[in-house]
Amino acid sequence: MDSHCYVRNGIVYIPTQGMMDKGFYLDVEPVAVVPLAETKALHNAFAETIVRGNPKVPIPRPPNYPPPVVLKYAGVKSWRSFARGTSTWSLGESDGVFSLHGYVKEGGGWVPDPSTKETFPPGTSADQVIERMIAILQEAAQRDHRL
């Protein structure tokens, strides 16, 4: 299971990641939109996203490639506008082992930031991982004065 979220202006956007083919993902509906300060609602949104997993979705082909699904929730018209001032974080699970990490902007896109990677021991519950993810997001927002 792979998931990620975007944090922008104190709001967390958690799209479902649909699996297109061979590990390629596309943000699809449903998208949870939760204020970062609402810890319980945020926990529930992450838990629902984990349970939903990565549904199979068709590979979009030009000219039918959709705009990023989060744009309408953020009330912006372009990816560039959305990405400005946004941080992104990943939550993954493979063979019962969860991991989290943040991304940094590089070359016009985001790349994994190895300094933020956390891998949890086997048997760590999804709830524990979600609690850690929320703590990381809230700490980062306070440092950046975005909460």
CATH C-level class of 2-143 = alpha beta
From 4, 38, 73, 47, select the one nearest 147 (Cα to Cα).
38
Mean pLDDT, the chain, rounded, equals 93
Query: With contact defined as beta carbons under 8 Å apart, do 10 and 37 qualify?
Result: yes
> Which amino acid is located at 104 in the chain?
V
Residue 22 region by backbone torsions, left for phi larger than 0, else alpha for psi between -120 and 50, else beta = left
pLDDT tens digits, one per residue of 12-23: 999 999 999 877
From 33, 55, 57, select the one nearest 45 (Cα to Cα).
33
Q: For the chain, what are the domain ranges?
A: 2-143
- The confidence score (pLDDT) of residue 19 equals 95
Predicted TM-score (pTM) of the model is: 0.94
pLDDT tens digits, one per residue of 66-111: 899 999 999 999 999 999 889 999 999 999 999 999 999 988 789 9
